[in-house]
Structure 1
Amino acid sequence: MIDKDQIRQELHQRARELVPVLGERTAEAARLGKLPQATIDDFQAAGFFRILQPARYGGYELEPRDFFEVQMTLAEGCMSSAWVLGVVAIHNWQLALFDDRAQKDVWSEDDSTLISSSYMPVGKVTRVKDGFRLSGRWGFSSGSKHCDWVFLGAIVPPEKEGDAPDYRTFLLPRADYEIVDNWNVMGLEGTGSNDIVVDDVFVPDYRTHRSIDGFNQDSPGNAVNTAPLFRLPFGQIFVRAVSSSAIGALQGALNEYLAFNRERVGVNDGRRTVLDPSAQMVAAEATAVIDECKTVLFRNFDLMVARANAGQPLTLEERIKMRFDSAVVPEKCVQAIIKLFKCCGAMAIRNDHPINRHFRDILAGRVHVANGPDKYGRNLGGVLMGQDNTDFFL
């Protein structure tokens, strides 16, 4: 029996110790277009990928807030590193929802094996005996070169006319797909979010996970992974993996902003930046944004976990509100870092300026489809005003 409190303390300490190390590797990660292998090795050695992994396969089965605290801490040093950890480690949680045969396929020989993903529903699916034939090209598979399996999204055609489409996640081994090395971007360069190509491969039915099962919190994997952790709604977990790293990156940017401006004197007017009311205000505003985003994140996870422990599902309205809470985070962080950036003067446009990397990474994270608040805000507002819900990734 592991001591979870001790594990939590060790994980947080290891994350804090890695912040400066990751900061020093940002240039290398950008040059490589993926994380240095040393970073993945550090994450493996620290146990970060195991935080939400089933205990049956060497995982710690801690709570989501434990994982996201680690992710946000690491993002202070490098948002690309934290992004990849967030996405890939969440897959260890999702695999626990699959049929146990799929879990054994991935982890029976090596329970440190990693999975990348692209959930966009672009796959072409044909039903065949005992499974499906799958083809397609998916974009933005973060950390793909460090992973031996992939999750891919596709809609299974209904068996009967009039039935609802069946969105599923398909699990494929590395031999069944090609990674197209096409990651050439202005931010989050180190995530290595390359394209995935699949050409008519067979995927057994047990290596698929139905979105509706995740929504209903009743997946095949719950038969063997019985902890309440695995009864949390999938839609509420994954979206935080791509929004919460922005909070940590904003904290990292604020740290750099304060260090840069404490002794800075304007070369044109000779005035100290620390005495500039605007510079003072943007530091205060960024601090407030970080505190607000973390408070809402932890409040929501505390509620989710409490309900799961009690066997009581969240209401639809609560899920919709939490979905919007996640989507609005990167926009808040964008607005805060733009102000920090401007108050660093012309030096901030240099690629080697300490705040510049955070600036580009947060903007890049904001354009992820899960991080656009307008769609989810309109849905929340409409439901509050009596309209039907339009989002089912909840």
Structure 2
Amino acid sequence: MHEVVRRARAIAPQLAQHAAETEALGRLSDASVALIKEAGVMRLLQPVEYGGMAAHPVDFAEAVMEVAHGCGSSGWVCGVGGVHPWEMALMDRKLQDEVWGSDQDTWIASPYMPSGVATEVDGGFVLNGRWQFSSGTDHCDWVFLGAVVGDRSGKPVKPFRAMHVVLPRADYTIVEDSWDVIGLRGTGSKDVIVDGAFIPSYRTIGTEEVTEGELAAARAQRTESVYKLPFWTMFPLGITSAVVGIAEGALQAHLDYQRDRVSAYGGKVREDTSTLKAIAESSTEIAASRLQLLDGISRIYDKVEAGEPVTFADRAFQRRNQIRAAWRAVDAVDAIFARSGGNAVRRDTTLQRFWRDAHVGLQHAIHAKGTALDAAALIEMGVEPEGPLRAMI
């Protein structure tokens, strides 16, 4: 087990103690941020020369799960934000120096949805737009944003060009009242607005470069295998790891809750064989989700390590399995929550918070059962997916 995974496991009970405060604040508590930084979770995928570990993605996924086991919102922020140092490693070294030169614990936010238009000007671009779902943004000093290249009228150019751009905190506005939700409240996934900020060219990267993996790594002169992985393999990994960790936390909360509970009929719940069977089945399903997720990323990493190409089929099957892992884990949470009795819905119970967090985590676009599953099925039929069926794979 990686040392950071051990530390993440050690801080999970403390994160659990701060979970209610985190939810009430609508962002991670200061104490939670300090614990995560001390454990080094956000630096697992960061380059070694900037205080990171360039770790195996399995170690990253396991650390995120441990954090989410204690606090769903903390796990989610680690899962999303922990991937950003991986992509930053693919950017211009000048930008990496700007981000980490004075503080190697600097956090970076996102989102990647191309919700803004970048107009090309001398030396770079001028960016305008509004983005939703910037998880953990209150604790970050930089942000990755998705953008389309537009003409001077603000319309996307043809052929279509999309890219990721990076801005410092002074160049965007966080919309404070934009995160009022039923679950993952503590992630503080607020909207951000950019109004005419200049983005120098070295703070941009084409989405097609990171999609394949190898292209961006070669441009950045990164030889470590982890930086050659495809974007749509790495980014979903962090998010689904958080969901699986939340499911594990829900299972533990359910066990603690049911151990001494007496049902409305006066019997001990732990003597009810139907409840015990549901616990056993749910525990197995959550464990299967963990194993399938970690197996998928390991298979792709092993191909890169061996110098073998990662095919579109490899990526599609990994995405299919990653999506299924998330849904299987949340279905298992539903099965145990349904047997927890009426008092489980009270807001002072840990279980209901995990249940809400799990369902909101499932709402992320990378968990949609649409094109990724369709593409994987077509490949198994010997049909090459085209057009929109190749999106986010």
Give the equivalent residue in structure 2 for 1:315: 311
Question: 1:115, 1:149 within 8 Å by CA — same for their partners in 2?
Answer: yes
* TM-score when normalising by structure 1: 0.93
Question: What is the percent sequence identity of the aligned residues?
Answer: 36
Q: Distance in 1 between matches of 2:89 and 2:379?
A: 32
Q: Please point out which of 306, 320, 344 is paired with 1:324.
A: 320
Which residue of the partner structure matches residue 172 of structure 1? 167
Stretch of structure 1 that moved more, 372-381 or 26-35:
372-381
1:256 and 1:112 map into 2 onto residues whose CA distance is 32
Residue aligned with 2:117, SS: strand
Please report how far the alpha carbon of residue 387 of structure 1 lies from its aligned counterpart in structure 2 after TM superposition. Answer: 4.5
1:1-394 superposed matches below 5 A: 8=2, 10-157=3-150, 164-181=159-176, 182-217=178-213, 218-219=215-216, 222-267=219-264, 269-385=265-381, 386-389=383-386, 390-394=389-393
Tell me by how many angstroms 1:316 deviates: 1.1
Deviations along 1:181-207, whole A, 9 cap, x unmatched? 121111001100000000011111111
Q: Take 2:296 and 2:326, find their aligned partners in 1: how far apart are those partners?
A: 17
The alpha-carbon distance between structure 1 residues 104 and 224, as it changes in their structure 2 partners (threshold 3 A), is farther
State the SS of the aligned residue for 1:246.
helix
- Superposed displacement of residue 222, structure 1: 4.8
SS of 1:71's equivalent in the other structure is helix
**Following the alignment from structure 1 to structure 2, what is the Cα–Cα distance between the partners of residues 179 and 281?**
47
1:354 CA displacement: 2.3
Residue pair 1:158, 1:164 contacting (<8 A) in 2 also:
no
* Counterparts of 1:364 and 1:89, CA distance in 2: 19
TM superposition shift of 1:103: 1.2
CA distance in 1, matches of 2:392, 2:307: 21
* Deviation string, structure 1 residues 29-62 (Cα, Å, up to 9, x no partner): 0111000111111111111111110011111111
| C-alpha RMSD of matched pairs (Å) | 1.9
CA displacement at 1:259 relative to structure 2:
1.7
Secondary structure in 2 matching 1:98: coil
- Shift of the 12–162 alpha-carbon distance from structure 1 to 2, 3 Å rule, reads closer
Moved more, 272-281 or 234-243: 272-281
CA distance in 2, matches of 1:374, 1:220: 29
Distance 2:171 2:41 in 1: 27
Deviation at 1:276, TM superposition (A): 2.0
1:378 deviates by: 1.8
Amino acid at match of 2:175: V
SS of 2:191 mapped into structure 1: strand
Residue 240 of structure 2: SS of its match in structure 1?
coil
> CA–CA distance in 1 between the matches of 2:78 and 2:61?
10
Once the 2 structures are TM-superposed, how far is the Cα of residue 335 of structure 1 from its aligned partner? Answer: 1.3
Tell me, in whole angstroms, the C-alpha distance in 1 between the residues paired with 2:10 and 2:78. Answer: 16
**Bigger CA drift: 98-107 or 222-231?**
222-231
Contact 1:75 1:252 in 2 (8 A): yes
Q: 1:158·1:165 contact (CA, 8 Å) conserved in 2?
A: no
Q: Do the aligned residues in 2 keep the contact of 1:133 with 1:201 (CA within 8 Å)?
A: yes
CA distance in 2, matches of 1:387, 1:285: 36
Aligned CA distance change for structure 1 residues 220 and 74 (closer, same or farther; 3 Å) = closer
Secondary structure of 2:373's match? helix
- Partners of 2:329 and 2:320 lie apart in 1 by 15
Query: Aligned equivalents of 2:142 and 2:220: distance in 1?
Result: 23
1:221, distance to aligned residue in structure 2 (A): 6.9
Deviations 1:43-89 (A, max 9, x none): 11111111110011111111000011111011111110010011111
Q: Does the aligned pair in 1 maintain the 2:217–2:227 contact within 8 Å?
A: no
Counterparts in 2 of 1:222 and 1:287: CA distance versus 1, 3 Å: farther
In 2, Cα distance between equivalents of 1:204 and 1:221: 21
Gaps spanning 5+ residues in structure 2: where? none
**Contact 1:242 1:371 (C-alpha < 8 Å) held by counterparts:** no
Q: Which amino acid aligns with 1:270?
A: G
Residue 183 of structure 2: SS of its match in structure 1? Answer: coil
CA contact (8 A) 2:217 2:223 kept: no
Per-residue deviation, residues 84-133 of structure 1 (Å, max 9, x unmatched): 01111110111001122221221122222111001111101211112111
SS in 2 for 1:219: helix
TM-score norm. by structure 2 comes to 0.93
